[in-house]
Amino acid sequence: MDLSIIIPLLNEEESLKELHDWIVTVLRSNHFTYEILFIDDGSTDDSWKIITGLSESNPNVKGLRFRTNFGKSQALHAGFKAAEGNVVITMDADLQDDPEEIPELYRLIKEDKFDLVSGWKKKRFDSVLFKNMPSKLFNWAARRTSGVKLHDFNCGLKAFDKKVIKTIEVSGEMHRYIPVLAKNAGYSNIGEKIVKHQARKYGKTKFGMERFINGFLDLLTIWFVSKFGRQPMHLFGALGVLMFIIGFGFAIYLGVDKLFINPYGRLITDRPQFFIALTAMILGTQLFLAGFLGEILIRSRKNETRYTISEEIGSETKVKQYSS
């Protein structure tokens, strides 16, 4: 199979049919073998009904339905796991990304051997104040911290070589930084392509103002992880130990001074070093515990089920393909 088109969606009933038809027109005229994977991220409108209908009329349409809203990252992750195409393309469901870009993205991965090509909405049709400006700031910060020189990390339209998506884990809210995850996993052949972008035709954006806070926290996390390797929490732990040792050093100094050198000097508790020793030891312990906590979180998260699937369609087709 040439292509998997992965589409995460939340309440996009108005767009789905139009999007499907548009994608299919493009793919058929280019003679691709393909699957379209709709990941319904807990929609409460008729989105799933529409996906079921589409899959009945087009056997290349598959759908996964989450029990509730787990977020775009989880939806993408589920799509990555299920995808069977050699080139995997992600796009938003709201008709803002243009399916006409697919053939060229495919070529860039297949022939030019990019690991990943990210879309760049150079000419955007979103609110300037609430989207374009903050996103410029984001992208600048993301470039600086990650070393991946993309202009538009958040663009929903991206193409991947199959091997990339099968080896990265998109957790938390990391969908914005998939290229950075890829780079950290050793896929450094990353490309960028200017893509057409439309204004949202139906419904409204699913990400409110909290996206800025989330985005910055994710950015901090990703910077930290890329900076300090696989075990970033070791840094906190080590800092804690260091601090504790400094405090302990002061304590020893005070003790030795009092016992052997200056027994009739000031009371230990009256000396400034006492407070340094005390604070450094307490802070050191705290920091060490923070590192330990992080370590526990990282280790226990490995086998966590992050989403639950209530329905799946299109798997019959899969069986047929295997047996033929």
> Among residues 7, 82, 42, 55, which one has the least CA distance to residue 310?
42
Return the residues of window 296-315 that contact ligand UDP according to CB under 6 A.
none
Site for ligand UDP contains 121 (CB under 6 A): no
Are the CB atoms for 122 and 45 separated by under 8 Å?
no
Site for ligand UDP contains 72 (CB under 6 A): yes
Pairing outcome for strands 87-90 and 158-161: antiparallel
Site for ligand UDP contains 6 (CB under 6 A): no
Looking at the chain, which runs of residues are DSSP E strands?
A: 3-9, 34-40, 61-66, 87-90, 116-120, 158-161, 190-194, 309-313
Site for ligand UDP contains 96 (CB under 6 A): yes
Residue whose structure tokens are 């050191």: 284
| Residue 266 DSSP one-character state | S
Return the residues of window 228-287 that contact ligand UDP according to CB under 6 A.
none
Are the CB atoms for 309 and 78 separated by under 8 Å?
yes
Site for Mg ion contains 14 (CB under 5 A): no
Residue 266: partners with Cβ closer than 8 Å, 6 or more residues away = none
Site for Mg ion contains 96 (CB under 5 A): yes
User: What is the C-alpha separation between 25 and 28, in angstroms, rounded?
Assistant: 5
Residue 255 is inside which H or E element, if any? helix 233-256
Per-residue binder mask for Mg ion (CB under 5 A), 160-199, x = binder: ----------------------------------------
Q: Which does 75 bind (CB under 5 to 8 A by kind): ligand UDP, Mg ion, none?
A: ligand UDP
Return the residues of window 136-165 that contact ligand UDP according to CB under 6 A.
156
Residue 270 is inside which H or E element, if any? none
User: What is the C-alpha separation between 121 and 157, in angstroms, rounded?
Assistant: 9
Site for ligand UDP contains 9 (CB under 6 A): yes
Q: Which stretch binds ligand UDP (CB under 6 A): 90-98, 102-110, 188-196, 230-238?
A: 90-98
Q: Which does 117 bind (CB under 5 to 8 A by kind): Mg ion, ligand UDP, none?
A: none
> Site for ligand UDP (CB under 6 A): how many residues?
17
Are the CB atoms for 32 and 108 separated by under 8 Å?
no
Comparing CB distances to ligand UDP, the nearer of 173 and 192 is: 173
> Among residues 174, 168, 170, which one has the least CA distance to residue 153?
174
Q: Which does 157 bind (CB under 5 to 8 A by kind): ligand UDP, Mg ion, none?
A: none
In whole angstroms, how close is the CB of 11 to Mg ion at the nearest point?
12
Q: Which does 8 bind (CB under 5 to 8 A by kind): Mg ion, ligand UDP, none?
A: ligand UDP
Comparing CB distances to Mg ion, the nearer of 23 and 233 is: 23
Site for Mg ion contains 94 (CB under 5 A): yes
Give me the residues that bind ligand UDP (CB under 6 A), please. 8-10, 12, 41, 69, 71-72, 75, 92-94, 96, 156, 205-207
